[in-house]
Amino acid sequence: MINSKKMSQKNKKQFGVWMDSHNATLVGREDVDTGEFIILGHVKNNGADNNSNEKTAHNQEIALTQKFFKEITGKMPNIDAIHITGTGQIQEQFISFLADTAQYKNVESSECTSNKMSDEALLEFFKNHFN
């Protein structure tokens, strides 16, 4: 019984994301649900333009953050489990975005805070988290 539970844990579509408000590094398994963790890509959020109107700048920032989140999820189809790490509060916003999106509302998500790390260190971090 324990083996079958462990097997199903291994076959989940697991992803990891390191993010701050301007950059995200996406990690997933080589064959979606099996294989070694690899870097799937990097997504950049350039942020709002300098705008003298505070309301316009705020609305633009919200729209760009939503676009940033959609670009991230676009690289991770059919998520079963995701661990999000990084700096600031953007991880919590991303988890809320997932929970509010029908396709991702049942995703098992977790988060923690960590400083920026090399791609190699990030792969090791997520490998240890999911294994």
> Which CATH number does the domain housing residue 112 bear?
3.30.420.60
pLDDT at 53: 81
- Domain-located, residue 5: no
Q: How many domains does the chain have?
A: 1
Full-prediction pTM beyond 0.95? no
- Describe the strand order of the beta sheet including 108-113 as a list of residue ranges: 37-44, 23-29, 14-19, 81-86, 108-113
CA–CA separation, 112 and 39 (whole Å): 19
Residue 82, helix vs strand vs coil:
strand
pLDDT at 35: 85
- Domain-located, residue 105: yes
Token pair in block for residue 112:
């923690």
Q: Scanning the structure block, which residue is given the tokens 């959609």?
A: 70
- Domain-located, residue 7: no
pLDDT at 4: 30
- Per-residue pLDDT in tens (0 to 9) along the chain, 131 residues: 333 333 345 578 999 999 999 999 999 998 866 789 999 999 999 876 776 688 888 888 899 999 999 999 999 978 999 999 999 899 999 999 999 999 999 999 999 999 999 999 999 999 999 98
pLDDT at 129: 95
- Domain-located, residue 1: no
Q: Can you give the residue range of the structural domain that contains 94? A: 12-130
pLDDT at 32: 65
- Domain-located, residue 3: no
Contact indicator for 16, 114 with CB cutoff of 8 Å = no
Helix (H) or strand (E) holding 124: helix 119-130
- Domain-located, residue 114: yes
- Domain-located, residue 42: yes
- Domain-located, residue 93: yes
Token pair in block for residue 18:
């390191």
Neighbours of 83 (CB within 10 A): 20
